[in-house]
Every structure is written in structure tokens, then in C-alpha cells.
Amino acid sequence: MIYKNGKDILPIELLEEVQKYIQGETIYIPKKKNERARWGEVNGTRKIIKDRNSEIYNLYKKGFKIKDLVKLYNLSEDSIRRIVYSDNAKAGK
């Protein structure tokens, strides 16, 4: 979490109003519900996994066996099966 100084980002009137309730302490101001990022969107993990899953699916369609993909990607057979039979992988989502 990155901390910012209120005097650097808030209008003076708002800062003075907040100081009526709290001074010299750290507070957390949450994002609005509709502005929250889904898991992995901010750091790119979601895209990395999506790309990996598409790659696994494409290799499977080219004839790679599930056991080969298990060794190549260091995932369980169940995970590989879930990926290759997933509609998301087929659609490249």
C-alpha cells in the first residue's frame, strides 16, 4: 500500500474537515465497489495465466499428450485436463 500525505492531495477545506476526526494517524480509504480490479488484473497475473492456458490448449490440439503437458508445465493432470476441456481456453479468453 502506498501512503500519501493528505496535504499534498486534498483540498485544504477537505483536509481541515478530516482533521476534525483524525490527526497524525494513518487511515485507509477503500475504492468504490465498482472500481475494484479483479484478481490478477493489476499485476498482469490474469493475462499470464490466460496466455499459458491458451498455449496448453493449442499444444494439446496439435497432438501433445496430457502427460507431456504435465511435465512441460509442471501442473497436475487434473489441471491440464481442466484447461484443455475449458471453453475459455478454446475461445482464447
Distance CA 85, CA 27 (A): 46
Question: Would you state the pLDDT for residue 65?
Answer: 96
1 domain-assigned: no
Cβ 21 vs Cβ 15: under 8 Å: no
What's the structural domain count of the chain?
1
Instruction: Please write the tens of the pLDDT for every residue from 18-50.
Output: 999 999 988 888 877 776 777 887 788 889 999
Which DSSP category does 63 fall into? Answer: T
> Does residue 89 carry a pLDDT above 80?
no
Chain-centroid distance of CA 34 in Å reads 16
pLDDT of residue 87: 74
Indicate whether 88 pLDDT > 80: no
Are 56 and 92 in contact by the 8 Å Cβ rule? The answer is no
| Residue 19 in domain | yes
Confidence band for 93, pLDDT divided at 50, 70 and 90:
low
Residue type, 18: V
**Residue 14 belongs to a domain:** yes
Q: Which of 57, 42, 43 is nearest to 93 (CA)?
A: 57
Would residue 32 count as lying in a domain?
Answer: yes
pLDDT value at position 42?
78
Q: What is the pLDDT of residues 50-87, one digit of tens each?
A: 999 999 999 999 999 999 999 999 999 999 999 999 87
Cα–Cα distance, 53 to 65 (Å, whole number): 15
- Domain range for residue 43? 6-91
Q: Is the pTM of this model over 0.85?
A: no
* Within-domain flag for 80: yes
C-alpha cell, 90? 478454446
